[in-house]
Amino acid sequence: MASNYSFDVTTGCDLQEVDNAVNQSQKEVTQRFDFKGSHVLIDFQRGENLIKLEAEGEMRHTALIDVLRGKLIKRGVSVKNLEFTDPKPGSHEILRSDVKLKMALDAETAKKVTAAIKEAKLKKITASIQGEQVRVTSPDKDALQECIAMLRKGDYGVELQFGNFR
């Protein structure tokens, strides 16, 4: 048997589900009456983990964001992992904004996770930041389960995912 058990804390979005949600949003926007005859664009750039939004007028832009959020939620993509930028005006009252997908833990979030684990004072648990993830180790599997339950209750600004159980 292994002397230490471990798991990794990460974050991310299923890019295929994001792509499906964007396609469903485009389909709904083309059929909705309030978007008829106006310029509306939803472009998913998978390589850059970015969704570009364009719409005429503030009302349509807000409605476009609502449609996209709704489709992402229905597809099981956490809205916590989305970072919306402020809309920027373009020509002919077109507003442009970007939605960045958070695909990895940033240093600040990783520090929050490790600090929360240390503050919980769970027995024999150590947490270390390894690049874009946090590795949690312990000789006791039950302590790791307690740690996962504790982390699920907290709010760290992103949806935490637990994997690579060993």
Domain at 61, CATH number: 3.30.70.990
Instruction: Reply yes or no on whether the pLDDT at 100 is more than 90.
Output: yes
**What is the pLDDT of the chain when averaged over all its residues?**
88
Strands 126-130 and 133-138, by their bridges, are: antiparallel
Q: Which helix (H) or strand (E) holds 110?
A: helix 107-120
Q: Is the pLDDT of residue 131 over 80?
A: yes
Regarding whether 39 and 94 lie in a shared domain, the answer is yes
Model confidence over 142-158: pLDDT tens digits?
888 888 888 888 888 88
* Model pLDDT, residue 91: 84
Q: What is the CATH number of the domain that holds 142?
A: 3.30.70.860
Domain count, the chain: 2
Rounded-to-integer distance, Cα 61 and Cα 11, Å = 28
What is the pLDDT averaged over residues 105-111? 87
Same domain (yes/no): 94, 124: no
Strand ranges in the chain using DSSP code E only, listed in sequence order: 5-10, 40-45, 50-56, 82-84, 88-89, 94-101, 126-130, 133-138, 161-163
pLDDT higher than 60, residue 2: no
Q: Tell me 46's DSSP state.
A: G
| DSSP at 154 | S
Q: With contact defined as beta carbons under 8 Å apart, do 95 and 61 qualify?
A: yes
Tokens of 47: 């390589």
Q: Which of 73-82, 109-118, 136-145 is modeled with the greatest confidence? A: 73-82
Q: Is 86 exposed, middle or buried (0-12, 13-18, 19+ CB in 10 A)?
A: exposed
Other CB atoms within a 10 A radius of the CB of residue 8 amount to 17
Which structural domain, as residue segments, surrounds residue 124?
5-12+105-163
For the whole model, what pTM was predicted? 0.82
Structure confidence by residue, pLDDT tens digits, 13-70: 889 999 999 999 999 999 989 888 888 999 999 999 999 999 998 999 999 999 999 9
